[in-house]
Amino acid sequence: MIPASDPPPLSAIEREAFAWVVRLTSGKATAADADALQAWCAQSPAHQAAFARAQRQWHSIKAAGSQVSNWTPLRAGGAAGGSVRLRRRALIGGALAAPAAIALALWRPPLDLWPSAGELKADYRTATGERRRVELSEHAVLDLDTRTSILVRGALQEIEMIAGQVAIETDGGVPFAVRAGTGRTTADAGAARFDVRCIGQEVRVTCLSGSVRVNHLAGVHRLQAMQQMSYDQRAIAEAVPADPEEASAWREGVLVFRRVPLARVVDELNRYRPGKVIVLNDRIAALPVSGRFLMDDPDAVLEQLRLALDLSVSVYPGGIAVLA
C-alpha cells in the first residue's frame, strides 16, 4: 500500500489570502479592512489569484456558505439580531481600550456606525442613502445628497461643506456662497442653480442656470449656465461643458454614467451603500459602464453590474462585497 502524500505546503501569499478570507467572514471586518484587502490584491496578479482561490475554497464549505446566506445586515437605527449587537459592542469596547483607538474611531468611524468628529459639528447632515431638502431661507433652497454635512454661516447667506454634495437654488435676492475646500463659490449676479460636490480633496462645481463666481487660491473664474470646473487644494481646472442629466439626476435618486470605469462607479455606489464594495483587480476596475441606476436600492445596482459585466460577487458580513 502506497501511503498518501501530504499536500504541498501553502506559500506565504496563499496563507495571507486565507487569512483575508477568515477576516472577512469573521463578522468583524470593517471598511478599512476592505481598503487594505484591495491594496493587498493590487500588489501582483499572484495576490489576486491567491485570493480568488481562497474565496472559491471558502464557498465550497457548506457551513460557511450557510452562515453568509443567513446573515442579515444592520438596519438604519438598530441591529438585526443579538449576535450582530455583540459584535458592535465588541468593536466599540475594543476602541475604548486605548486613547489612540478612540481618536481613530472618532475621525474614521468603522462602517459609519456613528458620525465622524467633523460631521458631529454639522448643522445639517445626511446618513448613508439619505437625501434631504433644506429650505434655508426665503432666498435659498438646498438639496443634500447622501453622506453630506454642511455648516451654516453668515446669517443664512453662506454654507461651508464638510463633505458630500449639495444642489443650491437661489432667487437672486441676496448673494449666496458655498465654501468647499480651498475655494468659495458665490451666486452674486441674480437667480442661479448650481451644484457643489466635495469628496476627499477634490471639489467640483457645476452651474446649471444663471452664473456663479469661483474664488480659489489659484485664481477667480466665472461659470455660466451648463459649465463645470474642478479644483483641489493647489490648482483649479478650466471650465468644461456640463452634462445636465449626469450633474443633477442624483436629486431624483438616479446616477447616470456614460462609459465610466467601473472603479469610479463603485466609488459612487459606496457612498450610497453601507459597508464597502471593492474591485479585485485593475482589469475589472477599468471596464466601461454606461447606464442609469436607481440608488435607492444599491444592492440591486450591484446585481445589475454583475450581470452586465459578467462578474462574480462575493458578499461578506459587514456589507463587504468583492467584485471579481
pLDDT tens string 65-85: 444 344 444 333 333 333 333
Evaluate whether residue 143 is within a structural domain: yes
Decide: 162 and 118 in contact? Cβ < 8 Å: yes
313 and 272 assigned to the same domain: yes
146 and 240 assigned to the same domain: yes
Of residues 39 and 235, more confidence is placed in: 235
Of residues 121 and 232, more confidence is placed in: 232
Which pLDDT belongs to residue 159?
95
Which pLDDT belongs to residue 120?
63
Q: Name which of 221, 229, 273 is nearest 247 in CA terms.
A: 229
The whole-chain average pLDDT of the chain stands at 79
Q: What is the CATH number of the domain that holds 151?
A: 2.60.120.1440
Which pLDDT belongs to residue 84?
34
Residue type, 71: W
Which pLDDT belongs to residue 211?
96
Which pLDDT belongs to residue 41?
84
CA 240/CA 230 separation, integer angstroms: 9
The position carrying cell 462609459 is 259
Which pLDDT belongs to residue 20?
76
Which pLDDT belongs to residue 87?
38
Of residues 17 and 26, more confidence is placed in: 17
Q: Which grid cell is 123?
A: 448643522
Which pLDDT belongs to residue 246?
85
Evaluate whether residue 264 is within a structural domain: yes
Which pLDDT belongs to residue 130?
93
Share of the chain above pLDDT 90, in %: 46
Which pLDDT belongs to residue 61?
52
Which pLDDT belongs to residue 109?
52
280 and 202 assigned to the same domain: no
pLDDT band at 24 (very low <50, low <70, confident <90, very high): confident
218 and 284 assigned to the same domain: no
40 and 98 assigned to the same domain: yes
23 and 105 assigned to the same domain: yes
Of residues 287 and 89, more confidence is placed in: 287
pLDDT above 90: residue 228: yes
Domain count, the chain: 3
- The whole-number average pLDDT for the span 45-69 is 63
Q: What is the pLDDT of residues 135-168, one digit of tens each?
A: 999 999 999 999 999 999 877 789 999 999 999 9
Prediction pTM value:
0.69
257 and 236 assigned to the same domain: no
83 and 138 assigned to the same domain: no
- Residue 306: domain span: 250-323
212 and 309 assigned to the same domain: no
Q: What is the pLDDT of residues 111-120, one digit of tens each?
A: 444 455 566 6
CA 294/CA 314 separation, integer angstroms: 22
CA 306/CA 248 separation, integer angstroms: 26
- The whole-number average pLDDT for the span 275-291 is 91
256 and 225 assigned to the same domain: no
pLDDT above 50: residue 301: yes
Q: Collect all residues with Cβ–Cβ distance below 8 Å to 19 and sequence separation of at least 6.
A: none
